[in-house]
Structure 1
Amino acid sequence: MLLFFTLGLLVHFVFFASIFDIYFTSPLVHGMTPQFTPLPPPARRLVLFVADGLRADSLYELDENGNSRAPFIRSIIMHEGSWGISHTRVPTESRPGHVAMIAGFYEDVSAVAKGWKENPVEFDSLFNESKYTWSWGSPDILPMFAKGASGDHVYTYSYDAEREDFGADDATKLDTWVFDKVKDFFHAARNNQSLFSKVNEEKVVFFLHLLGLDTNGHAHRPSSREYKDNIKIVDDRVKEIVSMFQHFYGNDGKTAFIFTSDHGMTDWGSHGAGHPSETLTPLVTWGAGIKYPQKVSAQQFDDEFLKEWRLESWKRQDVNQGILPVEYLNNTDLFKAESMFTNAVQILEQFKVKMTQKKEATLPFLFTPFKLLSDSKQVDILRKARLYIKQGKFDEAVSLCTELIHLALKGLSYYHTYDRFFLGISVAIGFVGWTSYVSLLIIKSHSNLTRSISKEVKVAIGIQSPRNYYVYCLLPVPIWYAVLKEFQVIQDLVASLLTFPLSHFVGHLLICTLGIEVLVLSFFYRYMLTAGLVIFAGWPFLTQLWTRAKVTSLSWTFFSLLLAVFPLMPVVGRKPDLSLVMSAGLLVLLLSLFVITSLIKRKNSFIKEELLVHLLQMLSTVLSMYVVYSTHNSLLKKQGLPLMNQVVSWAILASSLVVPLLSSPVLFQRLVSILLSLMSTYLLLSTGYEALFPLVLSCLMFIWIHMEQETLQQSGVCYKQKLTSIQFSYNTDIIQFRHLCLDDIRRAFFLVFFLVTAFFGTGNIASINSFDLASVYCFLTVFSPFMMGSLMMWKILIPFVLVMCAFEAKYDTYDSKTILFLDFFLMKSHFVFISQHFFFLVKDYGSWLDIGTSISHYVIVMSMTIFLVFLNGLAQLLTTKKLRLYGKPKSHLI
């Protein structure tokens, strides 16, 4: 049995990792010959301002008095430069946004997941190709462009990470720090001959990363006074810095300025989806080599922004982030044509390297080249483009180079996804094989079908693939070999199914399929959970449970319908409502008082210890309510997170998994104790209605235990004492034979449904757009993505743990855990079916919301499948172990 569990975990780990090798490998290629434009550039230096998290509308629109929040930038648009909207390509996050602007490519999701400061892959960048680059700003952004740079010519100046505090009284200090350091730098350059010589070289870049707007947007929302005032401060300081540059370089006309943003922000202070407020960022350029403003009488755009911003008279030129069109350049047609030709050759070189790599890794007779860009066509396009430039037909040359770039990019995508279909089919075959094998084991062990094993079937296979793909291609072989060894069971199963009436068999098959599809759809449409819970509410009335346990049946219906309300509540954009958090805390206190009252009525030598445990839990609840309330008020007053609140929050979190072990192992007492302890932490992580969710879910779980007890008693399965006297025990007796029945499949489906509801009942964690930073403010406000993410994940896992504890409790009411073993494997089979759906729905394109959702759906289901064993172990630890405050542990009942 241990070997089977180990092999099962190994198989699921392979399936889990497969999507990252199949869908999310780096698109970058290396080994190309560098390409250069033969003509001299119009500017000697570039000054790049990136206002992190700045929305286009927030910068361009006029305030309620008809005045611009950024008068200097607006004057640039009208009198000195060119402007437009930069359309960010997702992920709309800080790292990939900056990589697109500075390195010229859109970073894949796997690189984002591997770290913000470190570079998962080597890449070239504008900074690396410069003579010198000086950059100031966030320690999360600057190092990634310095680490991969050759030599010692990219200099970074960052403030401490502790400055990125969402609870700080003034986040604009992040921006003023940058501007002040730049002024100090140039003051020092005047008195340092070596530094003065460097800043006067050609090909020099100055990068100012401004994080204040992003921090204020997250903390206060983009509509807040803090965010809008921050725009004014940035505009004033940009004006000051531009004046300083002009004075320092004597107005030599060789400085180019770019003001833009890496991404925007939603109205509720997040970014990562495809909403225009997140993907539309400002782009304003002026100085050397940049066109002056162009007055126009009319412009054609799909939006109404020009009229709203009162900029309809100045030509707007939109771009895709990371691509600067030649229309922005104020230079000769020859320069534009040569620049496009160089860009086309650069991308074509990448295409050639990618094709060579794929050709070397594939058997010659299996390799299919990209037909739209053959070797002869490459030579023909390059020859014609060069000829057009010599003949002065610059527009024709630009058009031809644009066509070559388009074809080369399509070819790069073709070779990047070359093996995807084959590997996907291999993994899918492995999925089907593993599901078949687990199902056959269950049927073989819990039915009257023969248990004889057919003769061994020898299977051999040969394959030629890159070494990291061998495991995905070869894994189905041993799996299907194991399935074919059970050929006799398959024959008997088919013969048995043929004895069933066709309508009966088809009906059950449709119900099972419908149930799986409802679960799959619930990952996309949360209201499907509501529909499922409404159907669950009628379950007692479709069986004989209503006649046996009327009160329990009515309670089941009531709490099923109550729980069905939560998936209908909003996920993102909701405003904090502390009154609901406080209400949840009061309900927890009432539950604690009820438990204490019931304990006092009993006479037992251990009553003092139990009372002490519940008094500790009441104290934790009261402290949690106080910390939530006082932290919220402190942040509103811009006084930051009080240190004492932070210490108390972490102490409550640390004790939440220990205090339940001090309570009685009696089923009801222990489950209530687990709920009370975990609710203290959950309150600290709540901002609104979700604080009530674990309470309603736990009530339904308690009733579910009663319902299943009635169901099994009805079917003749013996059970133990009443729930008020049953103790949790670590009983591993799973050797009793028992027939598989429809109730087993139904119980497993219920469990899977409740686990999915625990994940998605109050939000969609598959999207980082649902990530509300306010949820972790009781623990920390300084930006720490991994710590904040861990806290949010624990918040999501708390309802999950409550369901798993109920799962464990259901089977402690019977003399044997045969049913636990059977339902556990049936539940895993449900998840394997669901995971096969999501494997083919994974996306590596579209918005960060689309990509992140598709990844997270697959990861969530596979994580459940893999870690159910470990989480079940955690549930067993919480329900069966007993610690004593004093003396030796004894077996007792309360």
Structure 2
Amino acid sequence: MKQDHQYQEIDQSLEQIRQKSSSTTSGYLQNLDIESNAQPTLEIVKRERRQNKYLWKMIGLGLLLHVLFLFSIFDVYIQSWRPLGMTPVEPFNKKPLAKRLMLFQYDGGRSDIIYGLQSESDEPEIGKPRVPLIHNRIKEGKASFGIQYAAVPTESRVCVQNMMGGYQEDMTAILSGWASHHGLEYDRIYNHVKAGFFFGPSIISSIFESQNCPSCVRVDYFLDSEINYYDHEQASTFDKLNYDKIKRLFNGTLVEDRKNKTLYDKEPGDKEKLAEDKLMVYMNWVSCDAIGTGFKPTNKEYRKSIRTAAKYIEEIEEDINKYYGNDGETAFILLADHGIADIGAHGDGNPQNTWTPFVLWGKGIKPADDEQDPKNPETHDDFSKKWGLTMKKRFDIDQSQLPSLISSILGLPIPMNNEGVLPLKLLDATEVYKANILLQNAYQLQTTYSKIQELVQERQKWFFTEYEHSPKKILNFLSELKKQVDQIASKSEDGKSATKEQNEELNRIISDTYVEIQNIRSGISYLKLYQKTLLQIAVALGYVSFMLLCFAVVFRYINTNQDKENRIVQQNTVPFVKNFSLIITLCFTAFILLYLNVTQSKPVYYAYFGFPIFFSYQFYKHRHFMNEGWGQNILKLICSYALIGLAGQCLMYSFFEREFISYNFLAISVFSLIHSKYSFGQITGPVLRWSLACILISIFPLLPPIQGVSDINYIFGFICITITTFYISFYHFKHELETSVKAMTISILYCGGISLYLRTVASSTVPYYIFAINWIILFSLVGSIVFLNLHKNSDPQLRLYSLIVIMINLQLLFGISYDTLFILIFSFLLKTWVDHEKEVSVLIQNKQILPYHFYTAFKFILIMNISFFGIQDLVSLGSFNYESITRFLVNLQEILTLVLMLFKLSFPFLCGASAFIVVCKLAYKQLSTIGLFMLSIIFAEIMTINFFFMIRTEGTWQEKGSSVARFVISSLLTLLYVSLFFIAHILFKNTKFDEKQKN
């Protein structure tokens, strides 16, 4: 057959290779004392079945361990405490700074575009601000401005919740659904206002419902499901709908309803609400989010939505001032909940999503100070110098600081779950007012601190140790500071006539209050991570003990024959009274059970401690089999394990820098050439092709991740795929391939052509039968795996090729750029890997696990990593490009979109796992395929253990989020390795190779 043609060039040296391998094999057989008729075939078969059963059992337990320990970070590093039922701290100041506050929110508004000047050809006034209101208020010296740093995940409900309650959902929000309409229960601004209004989408409407006084707040929303993210005209109508409702509320005129042709006036009770003090009106402009997601923020429609909403906001501000007779008692805030990345996604820590605009003006707001040198501004960087606002100082805040700021302006209790610290520099108030409002913030945080300690202490019982800055000590110190402020206030008419010395004393009090607030935050962090060290040890021991057990079990069932296994087992069998390891294990288990019971620990804590105890004891029982790995040579053992650890570290660094994958492949390419020259006396054809494939695949991690559509790259990859697959299917394998595979090859023309067609038209104009055909092809390709490959005995390499053809078709349907060319090179890499391992295995005719087999497992994990990181940096959620899903969906649907994305990512993994099965079956047929796979699990464990200890709870949102993402992705990849290996094992179970073995 033609697939064997590549080995003709090494036939001349084959005899020499056989001589080398035969001598190695004979020596190995002598060491194991195996005679030709020592063990009946039936006993060998039984042992292999028992071996495979035990190995699968170990893999299953490891799978369960990874599933449970994946969520351990929520207990070890990220404890979510949200105590409820606390008494709000009433304002210490008698009179608020303003009577009412109007908040305009650009949903999905990018700060660079909102602050920026019109500069694109589609914009009507080049050089002028997109939002003139912002520039006018700042240049007039009436406003303060800067960047509001949004919290991850940057989704509308989560960000607005943070802005209204100061409660930043942590990673535990994933478990409760951070994109859902119904958020967590917590205290928020609208529970304390006397009157309020909300206008916007339903996804965030529940945040503005007052629990204390439901009749005080009117929530006027439209259903978020009605927004078509791929129809900019329809999406923009919701801003007009908001505009009409708000105009009707303030300007007193009647607004015509286009649908019913009737006239409306204010709703009952609106007039009374608008007359109240402590009024807050929240206006959400959703078109930016809808259009930015569907058309990307670089599109002219996004900029148009910014300008249109700006006109609405400017008119509404005039109506509000007119309605209240320009009494000067209104404060205004303009901001965004999150931004939109260039690829049209949000939800992650990309600065385009987290750097949002923040502008304040009106009563109680201190205008921005002047820059001494506008040409070299002190507070501006390259990001903000382009806005044309360098004459004024920029002041940035965190999103969680907004509730305390609003409360200080309106004279409200600060929400009790608030975690933010008041930015005093934004307030135009006396030092007494500032000191009082900051103390109110400190009392609110201290109350939360005290409540959390009460809850933790209740659980820990006598195991609890109080933090050095206890809630009681902080409360006493805050009380002293409050007395000092009250004394100064009584002597200076609430600070209006304060002397210089009194203001200096107030500044000292403010400084001391900030110190106490920092102590409170440190104490809360201490309580949230109270069991961190203990749980860290338990979880880490779980991973380490499982990894060591994998070593011992593989060496027991592969490197040890039945007689030696029985001898070792018998030598280590001792009575219970003398089995100190078992007695110690039982005693330690009893203590752990007592501790977990006393501390009222969650049920999952028993698994955190149970797994390491079980695996550690099992490893202790199997420890003697570790010596059967590579002999008794201590130096050889140390070097081998050191190289395995080093290889695991090399794989780990690819999660930090994609370029490191390239360096690994280049090193493998060079090593393969040297090894071939040394072993065969020449560089053979399979090695040369394998080295070439490694070099070609190493190019992609050096390229920037795919962030948008590129027709040129797609067409080039499509042409290369078409020529290659048609040549192989209809010429190279024209007699061997099944008709179904050739039909799938022809479907490549459709998949590539329809993807190009869909780029040129809007999704709303695509005939529905096109989407139906795409779904039919998708299900047909998946079905072909089950019904064509699964039940037909074929050559493993041909079966692998048929899977590759399916993968290519899928990639053409999902592809948007050079990912089509990547999948072609990836396919070439898999084929050359199989050929290379078949050639090298001639030198290793040994029935033992050798260091080279770990090298093979290393290459398998590296190939799996390149399929994941080759074209995208998926540590960031924003790297998921929804452009590829438009071949199947007119409108994005969350669950279906997620399923399609996971399927797209998983199929290259399946092909990689299938290639590993083929390597095991054709190259290392003497060894257990499952045992070889467990070697790759060891590398995955090394990565996971590293990432577990690298999780950060301090630092920037990007540092914390990335550290968690690496651990989660590493754990999920391990689960994916196991799942897809199991599927590939079934797919390749009935092959010609297996039939030969049976005969």
Q: Tell me if 1:410 matches 2:522.
A: yes
CA shift in 2, pair 1:654/1:305, >3 Å: closer
Q: Tell me if 1:431 matches 2:528.
A: no
2:365 to 266, 290, 294: 290
Partner SS, residue 928 of structure 2: helix
Between the aligned partners of 1:4 and 1:149, the Cα distance in structure 2 is 55
CA contact 1:354–1:412 (8 Å) conserved in 2 = yes
Between the aligned partners of 1:90 and 1:158, the Cα distance in structure 2 is 25
The letter of the residue matching 2:784 is: V
CA contact 1:274–1:848 (8 Å) conserved in 2 = yes
Q: Tell me if 1:421 matches 2:421.
A: no
Residue in structure 2 matched with residue 49 of structure 1 by the alignment: 104
Deviations 1:357-385 (A, max 9, x none): 22222243x43322134623430332222
2:691 to 545, 557, 564: 557
CA shift in 2, pair 1:322/1:17, >3 Å: closer
Residue in structure 2 matched with residue 730 of structure 1 by the alignment: none
Q: Tell me if 1:75 matches 2:187.
A: no
Which range moved further: 217-226 or 621-630? 217-226
Task: Say what the alpha-carbon RMSD is for the aligned residues.
Answer: 3.3
Which range moved further: 231-240 or 18-27? 18-27
CA shift in 2, pair 1:454/1:431, >3 Å: farther
CA contact 1:540–1:546 (8 Å) conserved in 2 = no
Which range moved further: 750-759 or 301-310? 301-310
1:484 to 597, 610, 620: 620
2:453 to 343, 349, 355: 355
1:123 to 171, 186, 197: 186
Structure with higher Rg: it is: 2
CA shift in 2, pair 1:857/1:148, >3 Å: farther
Between the aligned partners of 2:62 and 2:214, the Cα distance in structure 1 is 49
Residue in structure 2 matched with residue 569 of structure 1 by the alignment: 703
Residue in structure 1 matched with residue 959 of structure 2 by the alignment: 850
CA shift in 2, pair 1:227/1:432, >3 Å: same
Deviations 1:307-349 (A, max 9, x none): 5434344454433323232333344544333322221110010
Residue in structure 1 matched with residue 512 of structure 2 by the alignment: 400
The letter of the residue matching 1:381 is: L
Compute the displacement of 1:175 (Å). 2.8
Residue in structure 2 matched with residue 212 of structure 1 by the alignment: 287
Compute the displacement of 1:184 (Å). 5.0
Partner SS, residue 103 of structure 2: strand
Paired residues, number: 850
CA shift in 2, pair 1:294/1:517, >3 Å: closer
Partner SS, residue 657 of structure 1: helix
CA shift in 2, pair 1:373/1:200, >3 Å: same
2:771 to 646, 659, 669: 646
Deviations 1:290-320 (A, max 9, x none): 3467666556325256754343444544333
CA shift in 2, pair 1:781/1:849, >3 Å: farther
The letter of the residue matching 1:528 is: F
Partner SS, residue 219 of structure 2: strand
CA contact 1:555–1:703 (8 Å) conserved in 2 = yes
Deviations 1:398-448 (A, max 9, x none): 333333222211211121122112211111122222222221111222224
Deviations 1:57-76 (A, max 9, x none): 32333334432221123222
Partner SS, residue 203 of structure 2: coil
CA shift in 2, pair 1:876/1:783, >3 Å: same
Structure 1: gaps spanning 5 or more residues: 718-737, 883-889
Identity of aligned residues (%): 24
CA shift in 2, pair 1:586/1:416, >3 Å: same
Residue in structure 2 matched with residue 26 of structure 1 by the alignment: 80
Compute the displacement of 1:629 (Å). 1.5
Which range moved further: 133-142 or 162-171? 162-171
Compute the displacement of 1:879 (Å). 4.6
Partner SS, residue 400 of structure 2: coil
Residue in structure 2 matched with residue 622 of structure 1 by the alignment: 749
Partner SS, residue 369 of structure 1: coil
The letter of the residue matching 1:62 is: L
Compute the displacement of 1:596 (Å). 4.6
Between the aligned partners of 1:169 and 1:192, the Cα distance in structure 2 is 28
CA shift in 2, pair 1:293/1:860, >3 Å: closer
Between the aligned partners of 1:150 and 1:782, the Cα distance in structure 2 is 38
Residue in structure 2 matched with residue 522 of structure 1 by the alignment: 654
Which range moved further: 111-120 or 404-413? 111-120
CA shift in 2, pair 1:399/1:47, >3 Å: same
Partner SS, residue 74 of structure 2: helix
Compute the displacement of 1:233 (Å). 1.0
Which range moved further: 347-356 or 769-778? 769-778
Residue in structure 2 matched with residue 137 of structure 1 by the alignment: 200
Compute the displacement of 1:42 (Å). 4.0
2:225 to 161, 166, 186: 161
Q: Tell me if 1:762 matches 2:871.
A: yes
- Structure 1-normalised TM-score? 0.87
The letter of the residue matching 2:559 is: S
Deviations 1:715-764 (A, max 9, x none): 337xxxxxxxxxxxxxxxxxxxx422223222222211211121111122
Deviations 1:31-89 (A, max 9, x none): 42211115243444332111123233323333344322211232222347322113315
Compute the displacement of 1:112 (Å). 4.6
Q: Tell me if 1:240 matches 2:315.
A: yes
The letter of the residue matching 1:100 is: N
Partner SS, residue 246 of structure 1: helix
- Structure 2-normalised TM-score? 0.78
Match runs of 1:104-115 below 5 Å: 104-112=166-174, 114-115=176-177
CA shift in 2, pair 1:289/1:671, >3 Å: same
The letter of the residue matching 2:176 is: K
Residue in structure 2 matched with residue 178 of structure 1 by the alignment: 242
1:582 to 697, 711, 715: 715
Between the aligned partners of 1:600 and 1:864, the Cα distance in structure 2 is 34
Between the aligned partners of 2:364 and 2:714, the Cα distance in structure 1 is 57
Residue in structure 2 matched with residue 531 of structure 1 by the alignment: 663
Which range moved further: 228-237 or 81-90? 81-90
Residue in structure 2 matched with residue 732 of structure 1 by the alignment: none
The letter of the residue matching 1:646 is: F
The letter of the residue matching 2:802 is: S
Between the aligned partners of 2:893 and 2:427, the Cα distance in structure 1 is 40
Between the aligned partners of 1:317 and 1:532, the Cα distance in structure 2 is 45
CA shift in 2, pair 1:292/1:507, >3 Å: closer
CA shift in 2, pair 1:529/1:596, >3 Å: closer
CA shift in 2, pair 1:6/1:322, >3 Å: closer
Residue in structure 2 matched with residue 722 of structure 1 by the alignment: none
CA contact 1:135–1:157 (8 Å) conserved in 2 = yes
Partner SS, residue 102 of structure 2: strand
CA contact 2:432–2:485 (8 Å) conserved in 1 = no
Compute the displacement of 1:247 (Å). 4.0
CA contact 1:111–1:119 (8 Å) conserved in 2 = no
Between the aligned partners of 1:266 and 1:191, the Cα distance in structure 2 is 39
Compute the displacement of 1:356 (Å). 1.8
Residue in structure 1 matched with residue 408 of structure 2 by the alignment: none
Residue in structure 2 matched with residue 794 of structure 1 by the alignment: 903
CA shift in 2, pair 1:167/1:286, >3 Å: same
Which range moved further: 708-717 or 669-678? 708-717
CA shift in 2, pair 1:682/1:647, >3 Å: same
Which range moved further: 689-698 or 587-596? 587-596
Between the aligned partners of 2:384 and 2:545, the Cα distance in structure 1 is 58
Between the aligned partners of 2:358 and 2:911, the Cα distance in structure 1 is 50
Structure 2: gaps spanning 5 or more residues: 1-52, 120-125, 255-262, 406-422, 490-501
The letter of the residue matching 2:145 is: G
Q: Tell me if 1:13 matches 2:67.
A: yes
